[in-house]
């Protein structure tokens, strides 16, 4: 038990420590945001609520299930998508649609968990977010930003991997997050003293929890110390400015759209350029049980501008081969239009969109039948999707290569799920 006297004892010990000089702080501030060589990143465009993929990526003209929208041709030969996605249509030579995904969870919470972790919820194991696993596998030792950043709405957390791999949450893209903004009245030397004091307290406290004869304390205490240490470093570093938009971003904001999602996509591009490993951007509001077509007519321009701008910029800036982009929600929506002119939850067959990294572009993989009610060609399970994403990032998803990763029960953890196989036709 840590009481006030115990805490003050640590404070007194920490006060005797030497304070880092200004050279340390100035060195942090001098670091320029440079693109790391051979660095891989994952960008997840998360469509919370369950998008009607039959109206976006797999239209069924001529069917009673087809709805009101018309398909348009794209930059990918033979691939058509919704007429309300003209900017994305121009980028389809870089993207591929998986039209034959089969999942198992039609509940929002369970579907969100499944599509973020590759597993259905379990009472025994708290599985990690794909962003957390990607951070575990790909984070370079010298990364001076949070590896996993969630923009506007976090999904499931790091699970048994622990808080070291938790997402850093950004609610207002383009503004400096409050948790890394140093108070205006705190000078650099004063912040340096605070860092030293904190480090002293944390080190002493962690050591006090270690069993006799053991150098380090519990992993949880070390993770806590590491996370706060990174936050302190970021708060005195110019690297934090990557989160803030200024006059230089005006043209890009017009391109991506002055919406929450558009700003989130622009921030994702800037974070990838700065070396972030995984960025998730949320666009909610897809739970359209009523009047689905007027709702989509309002929603799709926001998606089109943000997603189209992101894919175009990642290509033009030479980042596409090192960045995997995945568009997905927790499930699709019913082929049959309900009595309220809406669509309900549907996990039996639906679409996700992938691109970048080792993914081939310009493809429509798999198919549903003429009415969109079932998969008719090349079914893809969620573990197969996960294995393909990892492979596109240069991560070997095989069980043999990941045996060192253990869950909270001490068992080897297959990062893509049991029986997972990458979809070879989607990879170059």
Kind of pairing between the strands at 380-381 and 367-368:
unpaired
Look at residue 272 and tell me if it is in a domain: yes
Residues 127 and 223 in one domain: no
Are residue 163 and residue 226 in the same domain, yes or no?
no
For residue 196, what pLDDT band results from cuts at 50, 70 and 90?
Answer: confident
Is 22 within a domain?
no
- Same-domain check for residues 74 and 146: yes
Per-residue pLDDT, 155: 83
| Helices and strands, number each (H, E), in the chain | 11, 15
pLDDT of residue 174: 95
Using CA atoms, how far residue 333 sits from 106, 163, 208, 330, 375, in Å, is: 9, 34, 54, 10, 14
- Domain assignment present for residue 287? The answer is yes
pLDDT in tens, 162-181: 989 999 999 999 998 876 65
Binned at pLDDT 50, 70 and 90, residue 234 comes out as low
Residue 414 lies in a domain: yes
Same domain, 88 and 216: no
400 and 324 in a common domain: yes
Quote the domain boundaries for residue 200.
183-235
Angle at 16 between CA 10 and CA 18, to 5 degrees: 120
Boundary residue ending a domain (194, 215, 235): 235
Q: Is the pLDDT of residue 21 over 70?
A: no
Angstrom distance (rounded) from CA 147 to CA 134: 9
User: Strand locations in 227-284, DSSP E?
Assistant: 278-282
Tell me, yes or no, whether 212 and 65 share the same domain. no
The rounded distance, in Å, linking the Cα atoms of 176 and 75 is 37
Comparing 79-88, 127-136, 401-410, the range with the smallest average pLDDT is 401-410
Q: CA torsion 395→400→405→407, rounded to 10°?
A: 120
Distance separating alpha carbons of residues 90 and 73, to the nearest angstrom: 9
CA nearest to 257, candidates 292, 274, 281 = 281
HSE, CB side, 13 Å, CA atoms: give it for residue 254: 4
On whether residue 15 sits in a domain, the answer given is: no
Choose among 328, 331, 314: nearest CA to 388: 328
Residues 380 and 342 in one domain: yes
My answer on whether 307 and 362 are in the same domain is yes
302 assigned to some structural domain: yes
Residue 25 lies in a domain: no
Q: What is the pLDDT of residue 221?
A: 58
Q: In the structure encoding, which two tokens stand for residue 312, read together?
A: 């175009």
Domain count, the chain: 2
Q: What percent of the chain has pLDDT over 90?
A: 70
Q: What is the pLDDT of residues 322-335, one digit of tens each?
A: 999 999 999 999 99
How far apart are the C-alpha atoms of 165 and 168, rounded to whole Å? Answer: 9
Q: Is the pLDDT reported for residue 404 higher than 80?
A: yes
Could you tell me the pTM of the whole model? 0.85
> 381 and 421 share a domain?
yes
218 and 321 both lie in a single domain: no
C-alpha span between 428 and 409 (Å, rounded):
37
pLDDT of residue 229: 60
The closest alpha carbon to 129, from 117, 147, 138, belongs to 117
Last residue of a domain, one of 235, 259, 276: 235
Residues 253 and 375 in one domain: yes
User: Are 113 and 200 part of one and the same domain?
Assistant: no
Give the residue-averaged pLDDT of 35-61. Answer: 90
The 10s digit of each residue's pLDDT in 92-134 is 999 999 999 999 999 999 999 999 999 999 999 999 999 999 9
Q: CATH number, domain at 250?
A: 3.40.720.10
* Low-confidence winner among 162-166, 211-215, 337-341 (lowest mean pLDDT): 211-215
- The more confidently predicted of residues 232 and 328 is 328
Query: Facing residues of 98 across strands?
Result: 352, 365
Does 29 map to a domain?
Answer: no
């Amino acid at each position: 038990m840590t009481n006030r006297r115990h805490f003050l004892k640590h404070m007194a010990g920490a006060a005797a420590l030497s304070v880092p000089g200004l050279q340390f702080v100035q060195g942090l501030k001098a670091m320029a945001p440079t693109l790391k060589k051979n660095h891989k990143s994952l960008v997840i465009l998360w469509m919370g609520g369950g998008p009607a993929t039959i109206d976006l990526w797999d239209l069924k003209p001529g069917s009673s299930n087809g709805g009101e929208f018309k398909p348009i041709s794209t930059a990918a030969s033979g691939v058509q998508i919704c007429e309300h996605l003209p900017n994305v249509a121009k980028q389809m030579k870089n993207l591929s649609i998986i039209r034959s995904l089969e999942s198992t969870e039609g509940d929002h919470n369970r579907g969100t968990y499944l599509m973020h972790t590759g597993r259905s919820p379990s009472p025994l194991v708290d599985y990690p977010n794909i962003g957390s696993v990607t951070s575990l596998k790909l984070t370079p030792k010298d990364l001076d930003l949070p590896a996993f950043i969630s923009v506007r709405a976090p999904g499931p957390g790091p699970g048994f991997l622990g808080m070291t791999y938790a997402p850093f949450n950004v609610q207002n893209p383009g503004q400096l997050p409050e948790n890394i903004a140093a108070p205006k009245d705190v000078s650099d030397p004063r912040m340096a003293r605070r860092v030293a004091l904190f480090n002293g307290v944390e080190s002493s406290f962690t050591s006090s929890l270690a069993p006799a004869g053991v150098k380090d304390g519990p992993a949880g205490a070390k993770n806590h110390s590491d996370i706060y240490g990174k936050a302190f470093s970021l708060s005195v570093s110019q690297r934090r400015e990557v989160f803030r938009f200024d006059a230089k971003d005006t043209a890009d904001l017009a391109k991506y759209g002055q919406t929450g999602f558009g700003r989130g996509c622009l921030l994702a591009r800037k974070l990838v350029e700065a070396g972030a490993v995984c960025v998730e951007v949320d666009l909610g509001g897809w739970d359209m049980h009523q009047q689905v077509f007027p709702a989509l007519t309002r929603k799709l321009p926001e998606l089109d501008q943000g997603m189209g701008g992101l894919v175009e910029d990642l290509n033009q800036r030479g980042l596409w081969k090192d960045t995997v982009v995945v568009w997905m929600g927790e499930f699709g929506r019913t082929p049959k239009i309900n009595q309220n002119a809406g669509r309900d939850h549907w996990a039996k067959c639906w679409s996700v969109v992938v691109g970048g990294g080792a993914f081939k572009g310009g493809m429509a993989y798999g198919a549903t039948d003429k009415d969109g009610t079932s998969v008719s060609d090349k079914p893809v399970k969620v573990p197969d999707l996960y294995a393909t994403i990892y492979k596109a990032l240069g991560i070997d998803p095989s069980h043999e290569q990941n045996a060192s990763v253990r869950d909270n029960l001490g068992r080897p953890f297959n990062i893509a799920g049991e029986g997972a196989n990458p979809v070879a036709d989607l990879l170059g």
